[in-house]
Amino acid sequence: MLDVACGRAEVLRRVAERFDVEATGYDSDAALIESGPPGLDLHVRDSPPPGPFDVVLCIAASHALGGFPDALGALAQLVQPGGEVLLGEGYWRRPPSTEYLDALGGASADELADYSGLMRAAEEAGLTPLHASVASEADWDRYEWLLILNAERWAAARPGDPGAEVLRERARSARERMTMPRGRDTLGFAMVLLRRDA
Ligand SMILES: C[S@@+](CC[C@H](N)C(=O)[O-])C[C@H]1O[C@@H](n2cnc3c(N)ncnc32)[C@H](O)[C@@H]1O
């Protein structure tokens, strides 16, 4: 099993423990890989190792494979025929406003599709949707407000750190998103299980 841009490899650790599989992950951030959990085969790199793998995880990481929708083709190549991809990807629940895109840090509407477009793009890449689970508004509330709280706490505890201003800005944008009209129901996030066609 491969985890693309695994970050701290927390998802990979949980899946590996539960299913007792050989788990490989990579991320371009050396600090994250160095602080990853023991017992996993973790690498610092910015492109995937050669496949194919039985299962590939790509959670909030399609940018590491060229972004949506190109990442879907790359994922289809990484998994063997009949193998499965677990994709965690954003989608538009409604067309985003200019203000919302600005508060996402200058995103553009064509970076994502709507839910149906996400599924169609997977099928066009040779990946058949098997199951999907989407974040609820309660999930989003927990994610965004905890992100704001943690970013501001981190920055307050390290006033001289160059990263403090970056995190304060991230918290400011997230608060703007969460409090603007339609800010809580514009962006969705789906975990989609996909099977590569044989
Ligand atoms: C939003 S995080 C997701 C991490 C992980 N998949 C998770 O769900 O916790 C995105 C990750 O992509 C990594 N990243 C960005 N570009 C990359 C690249 N070209 N190759 C590998 N990792 C990359 C970042 O370092 C970061 O850890």
User: Which residue has the CA at smallest separation from atom 4 of ligand 1?
Assistant: 7
What is the three-class DSSP state of 44? strand
How high is the pLDDT of residue 144? 94
132 CB-near residues (< 8 Å, 6+ apart): 119, 190, 191, 192, 193
Å from CA of 87 to ligand 1 middle? 13
How high is the pLDDT of residue 198? 80
So what's the architecture of 2-97+104-136+185-196 in CATH?
3-Layer(aba) Sandwich (3.40)
Full-model pTM: 0.94
How high is the pLDDT of residue 20? 85
Å from CA of 46 to ligand 1 middle? 9
In angstroms, rounded to a whole number, what is the distance separating the alpha carbons of residues 77 and 198? 12
Residues having CB closer than 6 A to ligand 1 are 5-7, 11, 26-29, 32, 46, 59-61, 63-64
The dihedral formed by the CA atoms of 1, 125, 46 and 166, expressed in degrees to the nearest 10:
-110
User: Which residue has the CA at smallest separation from atom 16 of ligand 1?
Assistant: 64
How high is the pLDDT of residue 61? 98
CA 196 to centroid of chain Cα atoms: 20
Which sequence spans correspond to the domains of the chain? 2-97+104-136+185-196, 138-179
With CA atoms as reference, report the closest residue to 87 among 52, 122, 53, 120.
122
Distances (CA, A) of 162 to 33, 60, 87, 105, 166: 22, 25, 33, 19, 7
Å from CA of 64 to ligand 1 middle? 7
How high is the pLDDT of residue 93? 97
User: Which residue has the CA at smallest separation from atom 25 of ligand 1?
Assistant: 29
How high is the pLDDT of residue 84? 98
Å from CA of 5 to ligand 1 middle? 4
Instruction: Give tens-digit pLDDT for 85-144.
Output: 999 999 999 999 999 999 998 899 999 999 999 999 999 999 999 999 999 999 999 999
In angstroms, rounded to a whole number, what is the distance separating the alpha carbons of residues 61 and 166? 20
Instruction: Give tens-digit pLDDT for 5-24.
Output: 999 999 999 999 999 899 99
Å from CA of 79 to ligand 1 middle? 19
How high is the pLDDT of residue 181? 94
Instruction: Give tens-digit pLDDT for 147-194.
Output: 999 999 999 999 899 999 999 999 999 999 999 999 999 999 999 999
In angstroms, rounded to a whole number, what is the distance separating the alpha carbons of residues 195 and 53? 12
How high is the pLDDT of residue 117? 98
